[in-house]
Amino acid sequence: MGIVQPLVDWYTNFMAAGDIRVQKWTFMAGPAPTLSICLSYVLFVKWIGPYIMRNRPPLNIRWLMILYNFAMVIISTYIFLELGILGWFGKYNWKCQPVDYTDNPDATAMAHLAWWYYLSKFLEFTDTIFFVLRKKFTHISTLHVIHHGIMPMSVWWGVKFTPGGHSTFFAFVNSLVHIVMYFYYGLAAIGPSMNRFLWWKKYMTAFQMVQFIAIFVHSFQLLFRECNYPRGFMWWIGFHAVLFWFLFADFYKNTYGKKMSKSSLNGSAKYINGDSKSNGYKSNGHCNGTVTNGVSKPNGVNGVVTNGSAKQNGFHKNTENGYANGTSSNGHYNGVVHRTTVNTECD
């Protein structure tokens, strides 16, 4: 009891030190509700949801995905523009912007906007729920779950203690990225007719990485100048930006760095002294049959030889970077599989 009571007192005083304007707003009294929701999200998308769907067919929710993605474009656009108008389009100092805790209309509006941005992080859980409902379980990667699972909790601290000023740069840049990202996935959700417009996914991922560089540079600049802004939040935001940059960099390398094996030339398997040493195996896919001196050895499966390559004539197992059954590990939102992420030919 002698240890518990001081901890309770410390916690009570610590929570009371938050911005008095937000104390009675939904979920702002303490971190427990937000933490509970985040943990429930992880449990559902990693275990409960897949268990429920294990003996059920994947749901066809294309119309819902289209509606959701374009709704997120609208929400992200609104938050981005409001953050700009209230601060980052000219009113705020990009080098040092203290938090205005007064009842100034712009400061109060910024605090409300920070809270709405926080709530939008819960809405983004829908990205993963779509994966579960469509049984795209391979898409529920560590990066995806970490990114979504910790964001509401991370943003909660900012709304509780610094709902405005320097830290809102994170939301400003992130909302801009989400406009582009959800527009991409909205187009992808429409179907194959949009494939010709989706060539830029690689650049969208690069844009996300640039976002994190901008955020940690903006945050860590306070190490070199005096600013009436809590340094703890400088470290908090900067650390998250660095963490996400490394996670996205690893995703980028694994997704776009592994191209077709250089052993494949003009659609042919690599030949050494005229013989195929690959037993029909190609990076980004498996062809049934062994190619030797340009002759298809079907091993029980039909094959046609064209320029020394085994061409599929019947069953073909789509794979990407070793993942079977035509699934893709590249995308990490909304369960959308795109033209650029699935190898559909065996050549």
Round to the nearest angstrom and report the end-to-end CA distance of the chain.
71
In this prediction, residues 290-307 reach a mean pLDDT of: 42
**Confidence grade of residue 296 (pLDDT, cut at 50, 70, 90):** very low
Tens digits of residue pLDDT in 328-340: 334 344 444 444 4
Tens digits of residue pLDDT in 86-134: 999 999 999 999 999 999 999 999 999 999 999 999 999 999 999 999 9
Within a 10 A sphere around the Cβ of 119, how many other Cβ atoms? 14
Token pair belonging to 53: 């769907």
DSSP-based three-state secondary structure for 190 = helix
Q: How far apart are CA 260 and CA 285, in angstroms?
A: 9
Q: Which amino acid is at 342?
A: V
Tens digits of residue pLDDT in 41-93: 999 999 999 999 999 999 999 999 999 999 999 999 999 999 999 999 999 99
Q: What percent of the chain has pLDDT over 70?
A: 74
Q: Which residue has the higher pLDDT, 306 or 176?
A: 176
Quote the pLDDT of residue 17.
92
Q: How far apart are CA 293 and CA 271, in angstroms?
A: 8
- The closest alpha carbon to 177, from 75, 65, 70, 76, belongs to 76
Quote the pLDDT of residue 247.
86
Quote the pLDDT of residue 346.
40
Name the packing angle between helices 105-123 and 168-190 (round to 10°). Answer: 40
Statement: residue 313 has pLDDT above 60: no
Q: How far apart are CA 156 and CA 136, in angstroms?
A: 30
Q: Which residue has the higher pLDDT, 149 or 305?
A: 149
Q: Which of 112, 139, 144, 147 is catalytic?
A: 147
Secondary structure of 88-138 in the HEC alphabet? HCCCCCCCCCCCCCCCCHHHHHHHHHHHHHHHHHHHCCHHHHHHHHCCCHH
Tell me the pLDDT of the chain averaged across its residues.
Answer: 81
Quote the pLDDT of residue 323.
39
Token pair belonging to 71: 């709704």
Statement: residue 230 has pLDDT above 50: yes
Q: Are 292 and 271 in contact (CB under 8 A)?
A: no
Quote the pLDDT of residue 263.
36
Query: Annotated catalytic, 147?
Result: yes
Statement: residue 274 has pLDDT above 60: no
**Confidence grade of residue 258 (pLDDT, cut at 50, 70, 90):** low
CA dihedral 310, 316, 320, 325 (to 10 degrees): -160
- The closest alpha carbon to 326, from 340, 343, 302, belongs to 343
Statement: residue 262 has pLDDT above 70: no
Quote the pLDDT of residue 281.
40
Quote the pLDDT of residue 257.
80
Quote the pLDDT of residue 254.
85
**Confidence grade of residue 305 (pLDDT, cut at 50, 70, 90):** very low
